[in-house]
Amino acid sequence: MNKITLSAFFVLPALLTLSVFAKKPNVIVIMADDLGYGDVGCYGAKPKNLKTPHIDRLAKEGLKFTSGYCSASTCTPTRYSFLTGTYAFRGKNTGIAPPSSPLIIPQDIYTLPDMFKQGGYKTAVVGKWHLGLGSPGVGPQWNDDLKPGPLEIGFDYSFLLPTTNDRVPQVYVENHRVLNLDPKDPLWVGKKKPSPDHPTGVTHRHTLKMDWSHGHNSTIHNGISRIGFYTGGHAARFRDEDLADKWVEKSKEWIGKNKDQPFFLFFASHDLHVPRIPHERFRGKSGMSYRGDVIVQLDWCVGEIVKYLKKEGLEKDTMIVFCSDNGPVGDDGYKDEALEKMGDHRAAGPYSGGKYSVLEGGTRTPFITYWPGTIKPGVSDEMVCTIDLATSLANHIKVSIPKDACLDSLDVMDALLGKKGAKGRAHLVQQDNGRGNNYGYRVGNWKLQRHDSKKKRNVVVNQKLANTPAPRYALFDLSKDAQEKKNVAEQNPEVLKRMTEELQKIIDDGRSR
């Protein structure tokens, strides 16, 4: 080989590799908690002081989806599906995770972060986890290594609120360890009162800074009683007020350290989950209750992330997906005046139902893709779901997902990028909580509701349970009836039959990809 061919032999592949890598965007998924379709300005929020300029900017300069979904109307199953690309009803124990839950994503399952790592990315999760920690049957060992957890299912770094902040304990978990835990003051977490005189939301209700309305009356920390009991770990405990700041701080820190190769960051905000405790500087900003103020706080976080990307010169190399884990809820267990101060605000936008429900308001949420220079600004009516991100992004960065993984994650990348004529999903299964409850099934403008759970067989209208029990199957035409009020099953027997069978087939087949 002469000199020229020799150098071409080495340099060309290197250049090719470089150009392939240059096209791999960093990906940040910002997942809000309990944020409804109508809760932000760009999706129609009207209250005068409920301003969301940073989220609105993502929508204005990116692609705003009108049919963007999460796959379940509660947190754990949506997050399970987002990270595994598989409908949560196929998995075990995928309903709302209790404080002592072990990791519910089996370690041998191929995940979204595995996919990114295969594609040469660095991966991190910062914020609310709520997918359990520790081995099956054992659960979290709070004073020891907390594993398996995110690091065992594909993340290089994790900085977590382990469950959800209305559940104990209020400590950060960085990688395998509770941060700042003093071994002389071990952390104990349990289901039962640790001693007869342990103060709780029942015995010390008068001392609470935010009263509970249902559940949430066990151990008190920071003047707020929670689900579950704990003692110890005092040096490790955080203030609810500081969570949002911490997520931003840790995200910036991690991006700063990892910006020289492609990265994937799952920014899992705790806003607007209960207890809704905004930082002091956001109090009263929305003119609504704390529920409004934490929306303003969430918006601030989005602004900080974008500002940081700009500062680091990463804005054009980074795709942001903004979404939510389920629809809105008013009173979710604390007396925080969310419902009282809602006024005319329609948290679920034009839809009915919300968190816990298979009506559109339960899973249709704000969903925005933003990638300056690549995604053309606009609005898309294509149907996309958080469950699709695994396959869509894999195909984009040229990673092939094993055949037996991400069983319900469809490639809708062209739709996410707003390419002309690109199609989203043709069908979507929506679920409420764990296995065997209720389903929604949307195909085009048709929406089938299937109510399996006897105890929940009620139609949720505007976040209140209506008296009329729902029939097992009901059919709605979303083009005329976004609120799912008029069951047209009898008038459309063929559609009902077809959709009922299709839904059953998707469940029975064990996969839809």
Q: Which residues contact ligand NG6 by CB under 6 A? A: 33-34, 74-76, 96, 130, 164, 166, 214-216, 227, 273-274, 326, 332-333
Partner from ligand NG6, Ca ion, none contacting 496, C-beta within 5 to 8 A by type: none
Cβ neighbours around 238 below 10 Å, total: 18
Look at residue 396 and give the partner it binds from ligand NG6, Ca ion, none, a contact being a CB closer than 5 to 8 Å depending on partner kind.
none
* Cβ at position 80, least distance to Ca ion in Å: 12
What residue type is assigned to position 191 of the chain?
Answer: K
What is the pattern of x (binds Ca ion, CB under 5 A) and - over residues 69-108? ------x---------------------------------
> Does the footprint of Ca ion cover residue 430 (CB under 5 A)?
no
Single out the residue of 386, 361, 306, 422 nearest to residue 62, CA to CA: 306
* 216 vs 451, beta carbon nearer ligand NG6: 216
Smallest gap from Cβ 417 to ligand NG6, in A, equals 29
Name which of Ca ion, ligand NG6, none residue 317 binds, using a CB cut-off of 5 to 8 Å depending on partner kind: none
Number of Cβ within 10 Å of residue 91's Cβ equals 19
Partner touching 215 among ligand NG6, Ca ion, none, CB below 5 to 8 Å by kind: ligand NG6
Tell me how far, at minimum, the Cβ of 40 lies from ligand NG6, in Å: 18
292 vs 327, which CB is nearer to Ca ion?
327
What gap in Å lies between CA 147 and CA 159, rounded to an integer? 14
CB 372 within 8 A of CB 61: yes
Q: Which stretch binds Ca ion (CB under 5 A): 68-76, 259-267, 392-400, 459-467?
A: 68-76
Rounded distance, CA 210 to CA 166, Å? 12
Minimum CB distance to Ca ion smaller for 75 or for 383? 75
Q: Give residues with Cβ within 8 angstroms of 59, minimum separation 6.
A: 42, 43, 366, 368
Q: Are 347 and 362 in contact (CB under 8 A)?
A: no
DSSP states of 450-490: EE--STT-EEEETTEEEEEEPPSEEEEETTT-TT--S--TT
* 184 touches 289 (CB < 8 A): no
Sign of CA dihedral 135, 137, 140, 144: negative
By CB under 5 A, is residue 131 in contact with Ca ion? no
Mapping DSSP onto H, E and C, the string for 61-122 reads: HCEEEEEEECCECCHHHHHHHHHHCCCHHHCCCCCCCCCCCCCCCCCCCCCHHHHHHHCCCE
Among 100, 326, 391, 430, binds Ca ion (CB under 5 A): 326
Closest to ligand NG6 by CB, 71 vs 164, is 164
SS3 label, residue 112: helix
Q: 76 or 84, CB closer to ligand NG6?
A: 76
Q: Which is nearer to ligand NG6, 194 or 215 (CB)?
A: 215
List the one residue out of 273, 309, 275, 281 whose CA is nearest residue 297.
281
Closest CB to ligand NG6 among residues 221, 273: 273
For the record, the structure tokens of 332 come out as 């979710």
33 touches Ca ion (CB under 5 A): yes
* Site size for Ca ion (CB under 5 A): 5
Here the tokens at position 20 are 């392939």
In the complex with ligand NG6, the residue whose CB is nearer, 70 or 506, is 70
CB atoms within 10 A of CB 265: 27
Residue 164 binds which of Ca ion, ligand NG6, none (CB < 5-8 A, kind-dependent): ligand NG6
Q: Which residue is nearest to ligand NG6 (CB)?
A: 215
Q: State the residues that interact with Ca ion by CB under 5 A.
A: 33-34, 75, 325-326
